[in-house]
Amino acid sequence: STTLNKNFRHLEPSFDNASMVHSLIASYDLHKKMTCISPKQANQHDLRTFHSESYISHLKSADDSTIANAESDLDSDDDDLPEDSAEYGLGFDCPKIKDLQSFVKIIAGGTISAAKLLTSQTYDTVINWCGGWHHAQRDEASGFCYVNDVVLGITELKKKFERVLYIDLDVHHGDGVENAFSFTPTVLTYSVHHLSQGYFPGTGAISSIGCGKGKGFCVNIPLKEGASNGTFVSVFKRTMPRVITNFRPSVVVIQCGADGLAGDPLGAVFNLTDTAYKECLQIVLELKLPTMILGGGGYNKANTARCWTNLTALVTGQKLDVDIPEHDFFEEYGPDFQLRIEAGYRPDKNSKDYIDALVLEVLGNLEEVDVNTTQV
C-alpha cells in the first residue's frame, strides 16, 4: 500500500485537518508500513479532463485578485472576488482562500497520482486522505470543494480499467461524482448518505439511478437521522454483494468522509463510530481488487484523525494501542487522549421496516445493471 500527499504544510490553515491526520498516523509509525509518496501537482491539462476551461480560468482570476489585495494591504474577503464568482460557486461555502491555484492542483494531483500508481500496477492499494472532494461540479465549486479530484482520479483509472466502482460513505451525497458519470455504464456510483429537506446537497434520492446507458448504475441509499453502526453496516452488507455480482468492477474507489461520526459539528445527523467505516472498508479490501481510498468530509478534526488512522491501520494490518502517543497535536485529543470514538445518545430513526423497504428497492434498481448485456 502507499499513502500520498506530503505537499500540504505550506497551505495552512486549509490543511489543518490533513496535518492532524498525517501526524497521528506517523505517531503510530504506520507510515513505516507504507511507501509514502509526494505526488506531482496537477496541471491545467489534468484539470480540463473534467472541469470547464471557463471555470479553471476563473479560479486563476480569483487567485490573482486575492494576491493583488494582499500585496496592496487590502482586507481580503468575498466582496473582492471577480463579479461573476457567484456563477462559479465561489463565496459562501466556498470562500476564496490563499493560494487557491496551488490548493486545487495539490488536491487534484494527489488523487491523479494515486490513480496512476494503480494503473501502472505499482501498488494494489493507495490512500490519499487529502482527497475525496466529491461535491465540485464541472464548472462550479460547491460544498467546500473547489475541484473534484474524485472524478479526475476515476477518469485516469478508466484509461486502464474497464469498470470502476465508486463508493461514497460521506454523510453528504456524492453529487458531483454522480453527475459526472450518470450517463455511463462504465462507472457505478454507490452512496450511503443522509437526505432530508434542507440538508446539503439535497440530492441522492433512491429513485436517482442514472440516465440513458447509465440507468441503474447510480445507487443511492438515503438514511434518516441517527443512523447507527448497525444500520449503516447492515445496508452496506445487504446491497454491496449484488453490486459486485451485477457490475463486476475492475477497480474500486472508496471515499471515507468522516462527517457521519457521532458529534460531527457539521454533518450532525448520524451516530457512527470508526467501526462502521472499518467494517465497510474490510468488505472492499476482501474483494482483492485494486483499491483507492480517499478522505472527504470530517469537521471534528480529532475524531476524523482517529477514524482515518484506524482505517490506515486496517489497510496495513496493524493493531494500535488505544492510548494516543505524544506528538505535535497531542493536546487536541483531550481529555482522555484515547484513539477510540464513542457513539452518542441519540435515537436511530431508521426503523427495520424502513431499512427493509430501502434495501428491497435498491436491489430492484440493480436489476438494471447487467454488464453482460449492456453496450458500453
| 172 is annotated as contributing to ligand binding | yes
- Is 135 tagged catalytic? yes
Of the residues 135, 173, 193, 194, which is catalytic? 135
Q: How far apart are CA 196 and CA 349, in angstroms?
A: 12
Strand positions, DSSP E, 213-334 = 218-223, 251-255, 291-294
What DSSP designation does 142 have? B
User: What does the alpha-carbon distance between residue 183 and residue 81 come to, in Å, rounded to a whole number?
Assistant: 34
Residues in the chain: 376
Q: Which helix (H) or strand (E) holds 191?
A: strand 187-194
> Grid coordinates standing for 133?
472532494
| Residue 299 marked ligand-binding | yes
DSSP class of residue 365 equals H
Closest-CA residue to 59 (of 71, 70, 51): 51
Backbone CA torsion sign across 170, 23, 282, 278: negative
Is 143 marked as a binding-site residue? yes
Distances (CA, A) of 34 to 31, 328, 333, 345: 5, 21, 25, 37
Q: DSSP letters of 147-174?
A: S-HHHHHHHHHTTT-S-EEEEE-SSS--
For residue 107, give the 3-state DSSP assignment: helix
3-class secondary structure, 255? strand
The residue behind cell 482505517 is 311
CA–CA gap between residue 304 and residue 16 (Å, rounded)? 12
Rg (CA), the chain: 20
- Known binding residues are 93, 143, 170, 172, 259, 299
- Known binding residues for substrate are 93, 143, 299
- Known binding residues for a divalent metal cation are 170, 172, 259
Q: Catalytic site residues?
A: 135
